[in-house]
Amino acid sequence: MPLVCVAGPSSRYYAAAGGGAWEDISVGYADMPAELATDNRKVRMDLTGSDWGTQIDTVNGASVTRVVGGAFDGTDCVRIVPPSGSTPNGNQTYSCIMRGLDLTNGGTKDVSRVQLGFCVKYGSTYFNMGETAKVTGILPSQTIGGATSVAARAAIYEDYRDQGAADLRRVFSIICGGVAEYYDPPQGGFQGEHADADLLMLLGSVSNHANNPPLVASDWLYFLQSVDFRQDGANANGRNRVDVWSRTQYLGLLSVPLNNRPDWDFSYLYANQIEYIGGLWNDPATADANCYLDVSHPIVSVNRTWGDNIPLPTGF
C-alpha cells in the first residue's frame, strides 16, 4: 500500500503503512550496528535469544524476561519490570533493552535521521504503581562516534496526570534536551495546563480509543519515534516526533522542532546511540504482579527520507 497522508483533529496526520516488508533482517543486539551501516535497512532486534542489550537494576527487584509467544502475533516479547527499591548500585533505576545501541557502526557511520519502533502493552497496574519513566532516548554527538550529551537528548517521557477524585492516569511527552511537549498542536507548559483533548493519550484502567484524547489500558500499542538532527533537509530546525497506533486505529502524534529547547545546540549533528527502550525510572515503583510492560517488535532504521516511515508490524 502506498504512503497516505490522513488528516484529523488538530491537524494530525500520519504516514500510513508503506509497501514492502516491515523488517529486512532480524539480529541480536550485538549485530545491529553492522546491519544499520546500510541506509534504510529495517533492523529488528531478535528477542528469541537473550542478546537484548539489557541494563537491569536486579538489586531493587527489576527484571527483563522473555515471554514466549507473548506478543500480539504470537511471537516473543520481553517483560520489563521496573525497580521497586532504592538501594544504591551501578544499575540503579534501570530496567530496559537496547541500552546504548551504537548507531555509528564503531564510529564510521554518518547518521542524521533515526526511526525507532516498538510494540508495548502495559500491565493492568503499571499506570498507577509504576513510577514515571524515561521511555526512550536518542543521543547525538558533534562528531561521528564522539561524545554524547543528555542536553541534546531526543526522547519520549511519561508523567502522571491526576484527574482528581482518585483518578490517576499517565501521559506521554516528547523531549528535546529536557524540555517537554505534551500537546498537539504544541502549546508548551506542563501537562494539565491545556485541554486534555490535545494530549496524545491517557494510560489508565479504561480503554476507549474513540475518546478525545484516546484512553488506553492494557492494549497493544505501536510507538514510532522519528528524529532528525539536521537543519539542511525536510526540517529547518530538526524534529522529534512520535506516532502511536493501537491495533484498531491511529491514536495520534506529538511533534516539535529540536529548538523547542531554546538553547538546543545544533552542532550535535550526528545521531550516535539509542539510550534504551523501557526505561529509566525516576523513583521506585510499587511492587505488584501486574506492574510491568511487555515490549515486542523493536526495530531501527537510519537515514530514511523524512516521512518514509517503517511500516506497521505485519498483522498489527
- CATH top class, domain 9-302: mainly beta
What is the pairing mode between strands 25-27 and 43-45?
Answer: parallel
Average pLDDT over residues 66-73: 98
CB 258 within 8 A of CB 240: yes
Lowest mean pLDDT across 19-23, 79-83, 174-178, 265-269: 19-23
Reply yes or no on whether the pLDDT at 147 is more than 90: yes
First to last CA, the chain: 15
Count, residues in the chain: 316
What is the pairing mode between strands 215-216 and 202-203?
Answer: parallel
Burial of 308 (0-12, 13-18, 19+ CB in 10 A): middle
Domain ranges of the chain: 9-302
Q: What is the pLDDT of residues 30-63, one digit of tens each?
A: 999 999 999 999 999 999 999 999 999 999 999 9
Please report where in the chains the cell 488506553 appears, as a residue: 216
Q: What is the DSSP letter of 289?
A: T
- Looking at residue 291, its amino acid is C
Please report where in the chains the cell 552542532 appears, as a residue: 267
Report the alpha-carbon distance of residue 206 to residue 124 in Å, rounded: 10
Average pLDDT over residues 139-155: 96
